[in-house]
Amino acid sequence: MAGPTLPEIETAAASLRGAVIATPVLPLASARWDGILPDCASVTLKLELFQQAGSFKARGVLLGIRQLSDAQRARGVVAASGGNHALAVSWAAKAAGVDALIAMPRATDPSRIAGCKALGATVTLHDDMAAAFDAMNAAADAGRALLHPFEAPHMTLGAATCGFEYISQAPHVDTYVVPIGGGGLISGMAAAVKQMKPDAQVIGVEPYGADSMFRSFVAGEPVRLEQVATIADSLGSPLAMPYSYSVARTHVDEIVRIEDAQMLGAMDHFQNILRITAEPACAASLAAILGPLRDQLAGRHVGIIACGSNIGLDRYTRLMANA
């Protein structure tokens, strides 16, 4: 499945203008990066953590909210998320005057739970992400409009507007390294990249403890993990699903996996060099180019993305104590 067409992406990007932020890009050209980055021609970072609600998710969620009928708006929306999608749904629902119910794992960063509640959402807590998904589906069966965190054309389309914007801002980039949770971000970005720059590479990144898309590529079909074990809760989807998998499979060149320790190292670099307090998922692209991709990026113009950074200082401090 090819996913959104370029005209559809252009139309969506135009419709979002003024409602979401055209997040900046930053060349990682400071001398502070000397000896840290691989031997690339250049590395560019898209700062999507400065997006509405703190992540790229705001793009697709807003498109999804806008598609609801009056009857659906009256019944409210439901979503399951460990944080970034939850905050995006809470933000977009409040802006649209729609009631939001968010199912979250009990282990979710308390700052994210508080953020959703501050935006007016009702939050329910569950044993793990799989249980949160079950609660989301039950609420949808009861009448709420389901805003899935990744398995929806509007989520892929929203992510595609991020890719479209990135290419417009940094046309020299020829290799894009994109984190994968459920596949919404990479499916959309890859769809945009391959239509605008067919010769560019798109490489996905997953933690070893949440590698559902990597395993799905190997199996040739979406798979479900028996368990998720990673510090990157924003990348902790327990499964890949048909739509996002098929779009990703059409456009993504390769997926690599990283250890949690590599994300912690990249988080440390973000803090020490850029003074960015990054959550693990936010640092995944950087971790990949410093780790498994390091030797294959020579001479390439590499684009990475800080996809979001909704993390409380308490959790950040606990994680970095193990770095």
Separation CA 33–CA 31 (nearest Å): 5
Identify the CATH assignment for 6-55+153-320 out of 3.40.50.1100, 3.40.50.1970, 3.40.30.10, 3.40.1410.10. 3.40.50.1100
Which burial class, exposed, middle or buried, applies to 197 when counting CB atoms under 10 A from its CB (0-12, 13-18, 19+)? middle
Per-residue model confidence (pLDDT) at position 130: 80
Domain 57-146 has CATH 2.30.40.10: no
* Confidence (pLDDT) at 107: 85
The dihedral formed by the CA atoms of 222, 189, 48 and 154, expressed in degrees to the nearest 10:
-70
SS3 74: helix
Over residues 84-118, the pLDDT tens digits come to 999 999 999 999 999 999 999 898 889 899 999 99
Q: Mark the ranges of the chain whose per-residue pLDDT is less than 70.
A: none
Residue 44 phi, psi dihedral angles, 5° rounding: -120, 140
Give the pLDDT of residue 96: 94
Amino acid at 178: V
Rounded Cα gap, residues 209 and 12, in angstroms: 34
| Equal fold, 6-55+153-320 vs 57-146 | yes
pTM of the predicted model, to two decimals? 0.94
Q: What is the pLDDT of residue 2?
A: 86
Q: Specify the amino acid at residue 302.
A: V
Residues 268/320, Cβ–Cβ less than 8 Å: yes
Position 57 scores a pLDDT of 96
Domain ranges of the chain: 6-55+153-320, 57-146
Q: State the pairing for strand pair 254-258/201-207.
A: parallel
Predicted local confidence at residue 12, as pLDDT = 98
What pLDDT is attached to residue 205?
98
pLDDT of residue 46: 98
DSSP-H helix ranges across the chain: 6-16, 57-66, 70-75, 84-96, 110-118, 129-141, 153-169, 184-196, 212-219, 242-251, 260-269, 284-290, 313-320
Q: Specify the pLDDT at position 109.
A: 87
Closest listed residue to residue 232, CA positions, set 182, 291, 297: 182
Q: What is the pLDDT of residue 101?
A: 98
pLDDT at 120: 96
